[in-house]
């Protein structure tokens, strides 16, 4: 099976107040289609910078990044934006929902930037996705009428609306209590199983990482460990 994500000696260096920061140092990794992977590390370990590179939100200083076998390392900003819109869905810790839009409108928003999207078809798909995560009765609500867990489920559905190949989630349970966080990781697990979406979850929490198939540990900008999670079982979430 070909890798959907592959990096070769990926490096990201930037300057902060005149000080050189080596955020990612020679990272090489491979992720297969449909894998549910966590990237785990402490604050400042480089895990979020790595996610930005994988999400085409930033360009590497050196090294190569192959997405579906194509080198995207040196593409211009317009091409990267096109890739993000068509192939990658993002879920963030703080949900990033627009407060003046309803749940349905928030979910449909990414399709506005897809010239091939039909409004009616997008709305139908959004309603089906919201129903699948138990939010059928919340479609006309605005975000401040929802719980934290409901807002994160909206964010996950929004990430799916353009049928991405990959979902990248940056600390998706960071603002949630442990019970709600478990509910959210269950949603990710179900999506991996039912839709075959490749999912990469960035987290500092070993508990959340324990529910993924594979755990990549990052320290000081390098991969410290990369192992299959032998305790990965569907029953663990029941």
User: 61 falls in which pLDDT band (50, 70, 90)?
Assistant: very high
Provide the number of structural domains found in the chain. 1
pTM score, whole prediction: 0.90
Residue 4 domain-assigned (yes or no): no
Residue 193 domain flag: yes
DSSP string, 127-165: HHHHHHTT-GGGTT--GGGS-HHHHHHHHHHHHHTT--S
Domain annotation covers residue 132: yes
CATH number of the domain bearing residue 202: 3.40.50.300
| Helix, strand or coil, per DSSP, at residue 10 | strand
**Both tokens assigned to 169:** 């989630």
Residue 215 lies in a domain: yes
Residue 233: its pLDDT value, please?
61
Q: Using 50, 70 and 90 to split pLDDT, how confident is the model at 235?
A: very low
pLDDT tens for 3-44 read 999 999 999 999 888 899 999 999 999 999 999 999 999 988
Within-domain flag for 222: yes
Domain of residue 200: give its range. Answer: 34-60+77-237
Distance CA 87, CA 85 (A): 6
Residue 14 falls within a domain, yes or no? no
Report residue 147's pLDDT band, with 50, 70 and 90 as the boundaries: very high
Which segment of 11-25, 68-82, 183-197, 201-215 scores lowest on mean pLDDT? 183-197
Tell whether 71 is covered by a domain: no
Looking only at the bridges linking them, the beta strands covering 5-16 and 198-203 are unpaired
Average pLDDT over residues 88-116: 90
Per DSSP, the three-state class of 111 is: helix
Q: Is residue 29 in a domain?
A: no
What six digits make up the tokens of 213?
């198939």
Q: What is the pLDDT of the chain when averaged over all its residues?
A: 91
Q: How many CA atoms lie within 13 A of 66 on its CB side?
A: 15
Q: What percent of the chain has pLDDT over 90?
A: 77
**Sign of the alpha-carbon dihedral angle for 57, 219, 159, 63:** positive
Torsion of CA 26, 185, 170, 28, to 10 degrees: 10
């Amino acid at each position: 099976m070909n890798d959907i994500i592959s990096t070769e000696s990926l490096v990201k260096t930037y300057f902060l107040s005149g000080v050189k920061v080596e955020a990612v140092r020679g990272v090489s990794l491979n992720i297969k289609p449909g894998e549910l992977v966590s990237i785990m590390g402490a604050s400042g370990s480089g895990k979020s910078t790595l996610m930005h590179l994988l999400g085409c939100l930033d360009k590497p200083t050196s090294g190569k990044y192959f997405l579906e076998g194509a080198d995207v390392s040196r593409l211009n900003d317009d091409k990267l934006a096109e890739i993000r819109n068509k192939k990658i869905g993002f879920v963030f810790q703080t949900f990033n929902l627009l407060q003046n839009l309803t749940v349905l409108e928030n979910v449909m928003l990414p399709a506005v930037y897809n010239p091939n999207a039909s409004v009616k078809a997008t709305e139908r798909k959004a309603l089906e996705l919201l129903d699948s995560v138990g939010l059928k009765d919340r479609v006309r609500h605005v975000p401040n009428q929802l719980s934290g867990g409901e807002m994160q489920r909206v964010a996950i559905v929004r990430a799916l609306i353009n049928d991405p190949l990959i979902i990248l989630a940056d600390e998706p349970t960071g603002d949630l209590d442990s019970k709600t966080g478990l509910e959210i990781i269950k949603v990710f697990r179900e999506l991996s199983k039912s839709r075959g979406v490749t999912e990469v979850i960035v987290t500092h929490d070993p508990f959340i990482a324990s529910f993924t198939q594979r755990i990549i540990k990052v320290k000081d900008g390098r991969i410290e460990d990369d192992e299959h999670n032998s305790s990965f079982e569907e029953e663990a979430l029941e």
